[in-house]
């Protein structure tokens, strides 16, 4: 049975995070995930999660200063990076979040690579009870982002050599950069920690655009992937409730939403 997670960084952004969690429950989502929830007290998030019974699949480390997109591959910013990881671990433990997406930031070169590897080892060791995720971002939305391909992510995961480090496989980003999604899902299956999706190129409802998510969802079911899939899209109308028809239409192959 295919289940979905609502990414509250893009969905129900007109509501407080606790109310967005409740909205996700009402509309049939099996889980939620968040970008940067830190302005909301963890106790309020935990109360809404307990009330609805929804798990919190993951949160991100902070972006940093204005214009930044993570700190963990930035040479010279190691102490800030570690502080951002520690902040995320505390928040995850207080809310029951299962994973932390450690954001690399805008950087390149061997020094940035080594910096990212060391910060990831720190994160994995400090949060051995959590999954640590890394996510390649596409060069249109995040030009200059350090992590920009699934093969680069796989090499880093092998080098860090920690069992709780996994790949965030975002179909939207990887379709733009690499395509061939079904083969890449098969190739990286053993290191995937979470899967997200949105239409390409709009990053809108997944029943739009060039990717056939009916096929992708069916293929994931064939692979035996059963974790909730992350709906990380921006509703074209700006209204989440009116954008959810895809939850049934894309399961035409016989799967069921929650």
How crowded is residue 154: how many other Cβ atoms within 10 Å of its Cβ?
17
- pLDDT for position 1: 81
62-113 confidence digits (pLDDT tens): 999 999 999 999 999 999 999 999 999 999 999 999 999 999 999 999 999 9
Q: What is the mean pLDDT of residues 141-164?
A: 98
Q: Percent of the chain scored above 70 by pLDDT? A: 97
The three-state secondary structure class of 175 is helix
Strand arrangement of the beta sheet that strand 165-170 belongs to: 31-33, 4-7, 229-231, 192-197, 165-170, 131-134, 99-101, 59-60
pLDDT at residue number 255: 40
pLDDT at 25 over 80: yes
Strand-pairing partners, residue 22, are none
Q: What's the pLDDT score for residue 179?
A: 96
Find all residues with CB under 8 Å of 228, minimum gap 6, and list them: 3, 4, 5, 29, 30, 31, 57, 258
pLDDT of residue 258 exceeding 60, the answer is no
- pLDDT of 251 reads 79
232 in catalytic set:
yes
Mean pLDDT, the chain, as a whole number?
96
Provide mean pLDDT across the span 187-206.
98
Identified catalytic residue from 86, 135, 202, 222: 135
Average pLDDT over residues 148-162: 98
User: What share of the chain in percent tops pLDDT 90?
Assistant: 95
* Predicted local confidence at residue 257, as pLDDT: 40
Report pLDDT digits (tens) over 165-187: 999 999 999 999 999 999 999 99
pLDDT of res. 252: 59
Residue 12 in this model has a pLDDT that exceeds 70: yes
Separation of CA 98 from chain center: 12
Q: pTM here?
A: 0.96
Taking residues 204-225, what's their average pLDDT? 96
């Amino acid at each position: 049975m295919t289940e979905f997670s609502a990414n509250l960084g893009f969905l129900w952004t007109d509501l407080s995070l606790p109310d967005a969690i409740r909205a996700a429950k009402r509309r049939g989502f099996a889980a939620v995930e968040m970008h940067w929830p830190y302005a909301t007290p963890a106790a309020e998030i935990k109360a809404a999660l307990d009330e609805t019974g929804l798990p919190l699949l993951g949160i991100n480390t902070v972006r940093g200063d204005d214009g930044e997109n993570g700190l963990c591959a930035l040479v010279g910013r190691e102490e800030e990076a570690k502080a951002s990881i520690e902040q995320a671990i505390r928040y995850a433990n207080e809310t029951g979040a299962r994973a932390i997406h450690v954001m690399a930031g805008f950087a390149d070169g061997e020094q940035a690579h080594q910096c990212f590897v060391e910060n990831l080892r720190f994160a994995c060791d400090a949060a051995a009870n959590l999954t640590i995720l890394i996510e390649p971002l596409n060069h249109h939305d995040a030009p200059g982002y350090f992590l920009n391909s699934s093969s680069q992510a796989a090499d880093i995961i092998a080098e860090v050599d920690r069992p709780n480090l996994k790949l965030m496989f975002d179909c939207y980003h990887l379709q733009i950069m690499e395509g061939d999604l079904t083969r890449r899902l098969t190739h990286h299956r053993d290191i995937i920690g979470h899967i997200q999706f949105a239409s390409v190129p709009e990053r809108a409802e997944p029943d739009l655009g060039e990717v056939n998510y009916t096929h992708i969802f069916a293929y994931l079911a064939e692979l035996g992937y059963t974790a909730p899939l992350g709906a990380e899209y921006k509703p074209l109308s700006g209204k989440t409730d009116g954008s959810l028809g895809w939850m049934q239409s894309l399961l035409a192959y016989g799967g069921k939403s929650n």
